[in-house]
Structure 1
Amino acid sequence: MTNSSFLSPSRWLGDAPQIRRDVLAGIVVALALIPEAIGFSIIAGVDPRVGLYASVAIAMVIAFTGGRSGMISAATAAVAVLVGPLVREHGVEYLFAATLLMGVFQIVAGLVRLDLLMQFVSRSVITGFVNALAILIFMAQLPQLTGVGWETYAMVAGGLGIIYLFPRLTTAVPSPLVAILVLSALSIWLNLPVNTVGDMGKLPDGLPFFALPQVPLTLETLQIIAPYSLTMAAVGLLESLLTAQIVDDMTDTESDKRRECAGQGGANIVAGLFGGMGGCAMIGQSVINVTSGGRGRLSTFVAGAFLLFLLAVLGPWVGRIPMPALVAVMIMVSIGTFSWNSIPNLRRHPPTSSIVMVATVVVVVVTHDLSLGVLTGVLLSGIFFAGKVRRMFSVERTSDGDTGMVLYKVRGEIFFASVDRFTRAFQAEDGRPVTIDVSRAHFWDISGVGALDKIIARLRRDGSEVNVIGYNEASADIVDRFAMHDKTGFELGAVPH
């Protein structure tokens, strides 16, 4: 490959049609980001500009540093709910400092490959996460649909009609963008009595500027912000990696999740330096971007850059965008995000998988905490998996009537969940020689090794000569390191630890 082709804009931006799709998708996302960022600022107890500036900085930086093209990152509720106590007790400058440290933690997470933990998140957990988020997105629109006039409902219905019917005419322009523009024009022209973006909070009237957080550089400051930063970093990475997996599935492409971890860290550091709060990937805006045709990094960058343009140049006009138009877009996102196949699959899939999915949804919806829901799903998946493997185990006893020798053939996995059945499968042999064949078994942990010690000690105490044969290489290694039954100082009557 020549240097000229490597530096070619088409390598990074795509062909002309994709550039157009990315730009238009980014514009749609920017418009949808405004009320979200303002709402998240209110949750965190800070000025709206803190959330808006964070969204600008994070989106523009992650376009270059992230590992998942086409995914949108900005200020999010998942992070905003964590920082309220910090802002109330110590002020917004400590929030900026915590955001910087959050970014450092995320860069470290990328370096030590914490992204590999995603391998332990089952498909049932991801489906539950997606469904719960779709429900939360819809629930977040309800305040805009209660205590309002018929005009609001008519505009939402009209917006949904445009969103779903306009693509039948043409897909050259994203239908959500058409819905926002048409409904905004009608609202302004007819002066309709509906809520607007300006009603959500005061929009900033200037550009963000670089500034270090005005906090004392002391150990006490570190002790104050570190717990918040660590929690923000963990929640932000969890939501970002799950969202990256969802976008992978939607686009049938792969992402670099290690780079995404470090990229999120760099984006949050920049956000903290420009007066913003922490953020992470947003599944709602990512779905808007992908369904609007955005696939490349340009769409993410345009979302941040156009949001900055809107705030700096078109602020008064942005404030007049009717909320029903954005509500229609978010309802479309909610409908498109929910995995409708998961409902009939409740009967087709194994009961344990369905329980994990439903539990994840219920915990997230009840607590509004995505991390708690995912943690619940992962723990349940682990418990059900351990229970399943525990049942893949058997011990067969045979005896030779002539020699009196007893042979135990062990099959399956010996670990903490199966040691009880393992030990109970052996009986007193009244001094007869015993051979334990483990050639079709595998010892996974010290619990399994300890159980073997206990069995051998009990048999030898009864006068039996015990011989264990057939270790595979991995089992032999852990037994050699941790078993006590053939080591000096092992007492026949002792109960191994």
Structure 2
Amino acid sequence: MRGKWMERFKGCNARTLRRDLLSGLIVGIIAIPLGMAFAIASGVNPQYGIYTTIIAGFLISLFGGSRFQIGGPTGAFVPVLLLIVMQYGFENLLIAGFMAGIMLVLMGLFKLGTLIKYIPRPVTLGFTAGIAVIIFTGQIGNFLGLSGLTKHEDFLSNMKEIFEHLGTADIYSLVTAFVCLAAITICSRYAPKIPASLAGLTAATIAAVFFFPGQVATIGSTYGEISSTLPAFAIPDFSLERMQQLLYPAFIIAMLGGIESLLSAVVADGMTGKRHDSNQELIGQGIANIITPLFGGIPATGAIARTATNIKSGAASPLSGIVHSIVVLIVLLLFAPLASHIPLAGMAPVLMVVAWNMSERKEFVRGLQTRTTDSILLTITFLLTVLTNLTTAVEVGLVMAAVLFVKRMSDIVTVAKVLPDPASKHEKVAAHIVNEGRDCPQVRIFTVEGPLFFGAAAQFEQLILNAADNGHRILLLRMGKVPFLDMTGEANLAAVVHDYKKRGGCVLISGIQPQPRQLLERTGLTAEIGHDHFFEHTGEAINAALARVEKPKCAGCKHFAFRECSVLSKPDSPRQMMYSV
């Protein structure tokens, strides 16, 4: 793992250093207002967002598994962190973040990074869109300058609070917000190389300071002046009682942080053609979240928008992320007091634009238009994120996704009764040959296709046993298209074998694949069926089945299911011809 970590820095030279310095400078400037905005939206002092950007951003770039990842406070964390702050307080948020960091490191060490890719797209899209709605609506109060608002833990109560206080809207705050929004829009469209959020905050601050000073709430008037000193090291009170209380919130932070950071790394891979180390990325995220709370920083993860900007600005190595943190640190030391004049009404459009961009609205609408079970999963995850909380949304979404997956997999399992087709060149077996007048009274042949697992095994057993009658004693199962067999499938197959043995019959199996065969060997079912009852080809199994039929019962039979039946149906006639299919 150490070798892979060091590989990210390979190829660094004077030319790539210049590229990293430029991209780090650009991303650092962008990260400053976003760090403060996300901290405010999370219910904490904006300077903690800056501390997080500096410390977590540096450590994620240094120890992570992606060459281009930019870490720091993100919008995805806002609803979760706000809820934790409201329920447990800021110091407990730091403890939860520390515990989440340990969980992330353990996830990386135990190679759980690759499991993130199994989270269905409708679930991630649903909770991302839901988070965007929460962030956007959460800034309406600051945008309008509403006063007397009380923060609630649920969306509907917060919306009710906003509507009840619309009469307190402040014209100065509204003008400030529109100045910021206009600057962001103009820069994004006509001057994309200028950080739009920084331009918006600058324009809003100038408008508020020079045209209506003291009329709008600012960072300084609400949170106090931002200190230009380095964050102080402090160890929170890690009592056992607190840690037990915060175990679940910490797990949610760890899971969301892991998902967000690896999604960001995947986006970076797609933009650059490189490949990240998912487990090392989790370790880097964990180290950052262990150390950052000791300096007052909030939980951090990979930031998709800033990572994309880093790549577009020419980043060549993790040094760009390290430079971005140093840039933020220098700005903190030199210009922190100026940030105290930023109006909260100017911060609101920044977060609203972030929410708008992260909502993936086109993908969301496209998902709804499919009108499949995925669109239902998408809608439910979205609504639960907005109306309840992210934890419930992800849990229900994943459970639903698992149930839908099992249902789809069980639907693709087919069990068809077949017989050799005389019209086929090699007399391949086919289902359409079987009918009421052509169906061997002694031998049943079934083609089984699809994985025999817990979601489909009962259906397999039921179909086989329903086709059984007192007359036939020999069952041939063609399992060449069964790629997987689990313990439930093995148990259902064993039930079929036992049923045939009770009736004095036997089960033959052809074409079984390695995984199912190995499982049957381990459980002893192979021996119970009989090692000589397994065949590589169907033709060999049919020949073995016909060798076991009761000849007297064949006399006078008019079904002619097999080509040999014309001979076997004649009394005292020897068998002829052998199948080769």
The two structures have a TM-score, normalised by structure 1, of 0.82
4+ residue segments displaced more than 6 Å: 219-222, 399-403
- 1:77 is aligned to 2:78: yes
1:153-232 aligned within 5 A = 153-192=174-213, 193-205=215-227, 206-213=229-236, 229-232=250-253
Name the amino acid aligned to 2:299.
G
Measured against aligned partners, the alpha-carbon deviations of 1:153-210 in whole angstroms (never above 9, x if no partner) come to 3333332322222355434422332222222122211135222222441345332233
Does the residue aligned with 2:65 lie in a helix, a strand or coil?
coil
Does the residue aligned with 1:437 lie in a helix, a strand or coil?
strand
Measured against aligned partners, the alpha-carbon deviations of 1:93-137 in whole angstroms (never above 9, x if no partner) come to x76555444323322211211111112112222322332232222
Of residues 117, 132, 156, the one that matches 2:115 is: 117
For residue 61 of structure 1, what is the aligned residue in structure 2? Answer: 59
Contact 1:435–1:466 (Cα < 8 Å) also in 2: yes
Counterparts of 1:232 and 1:337, CA distance in 2: 19
Measured against aligned partners, the alpha-carbon deviations of 1:288-310 in whole angstroms (never above 9, x if no partner) come to x5699585656644554454445
Does the residue aligned with 1:130 lie in a helix, a strand or coil?
helix
For residue 491 of structure 1, what is the aligned residue in structure 2? Answer: none
For residue 519 of structure 2, what is the aligned residue in structure 1? Answer: 478
Counterparts of 1:341 and 1:52, CA distance in 2: 32
- 1:447 is aligned to 2:488: yes
Contact 1:237–1:280 (Cα < 8 Å) also in 2: yes
Counterparts of 1:86 and 1:153, CA distance in 2: 31
Name the amino acid aligned to 2:469.
E
Given the superposition, is the C-alpha separation of residues 243 and 355 from structure 1 closer, same or farther in structure 2, using an over 3 Å criterion? farther
Counterparts of 1:229 and 1:214, CA distance in 2: 15
Note the C-alpha offset of 1:33: 1.4
Counterparts of 1:223 and 1:32, CA distance in 2: 32
For residue 421 of structure 1, what is the aligned residue in structure 2? Answer: 459
Measured against aligned partners, the alpha-carbon deviations of 1:251-292 in whole angstroms (never above 9, x if no partner) come to 7764332222011111122213324343334557667x5699
Contact 1:37–1:48 (Cα < 8 Å) also in 2: yes
For residue 405 of structure 2, what is the aligned residue in structure 1? Answer: 385
Does the residue aligned with 2:254 lie in a helix, a strand or coil?
helix
Does the residue aligned with 2:416 lie in a helix, a strand or coil?
strand
1:283-432 aligned within 5 A = 289=309, 293=313, 297=318, 300-301=321-322, 304-346=325-367, 348-349=369-370, 351-369=372-390, 371-398=391-418, 404-426=442-464, 427-430=467-470, 431-432=472-473
Of residues 9, 13, 27, the one that matches 1:8 is: 13
- 1:236 is aligned to 2:254: no
Counterparts of 1:377 and 1:249, CA distance in 2: 26
For residue 493 of structure 1, what is the aligned residue in structure 2? Answer: none
Given the superposition, is the C-alpha separation of residues 70 and 182 from structure 1 closer, same or farther in structure 2, using an over 3 Å criterion? farther
Measured against aligned partners, the alpha-carbon deviations of 1:426-473 in whole angstroms (never above 9, x if no partner) come to 233315222222122234311111110111112222332222232111
Counterparts of 2:83 and 2:267, CA distance in 1: 24
Counterparts of 2:352 and 2:314, CA distance in 1: 19
Given the superposition, is the C-alpha separation of residues 203 and 456 from structure 1 closer, same or farther in structure 2, using an over 3 Å criterion? farther
Given the superposition, is the C-alpha separation of residues 345 and 428 from structure 1 closer, same or farther in structure 2, using an over 3 Å criterion? same
Aligned residue pairs, count: 471
Name the amino acid aligned to 1:416.
F
What stretches of structure 2 of length at least 5 have no aligned partner? 1-8, 147-168, 420-437, 530-581
Contact 2:453–2:485 (Cα < 8 Å) also in 1: yes
Counterparts of 1:5 and 1:242, CA distance in 2: 24
The two structures have a TM-score, normalised by structure 2, of 0.71
Counterparts of 1:298 and 1:190, CA distance in 2: 42
Contact 1:356–1:381 (Cα < 8 Å) also in 2: yes
Which structure has the larger Rg? 2
Counterparts of 2:140 and 2:87, CA distance in 1: 28
Counterparts of 1:407 and 1:135, CA distance in 2: 57
1:16-55 aligned within 5 A = 19-42=21-44, 52-55=50-53
Percent identity of the aligned residues?
22
For residue 164 of structure 2, what is the aligned residue in structure 1? Answer: none
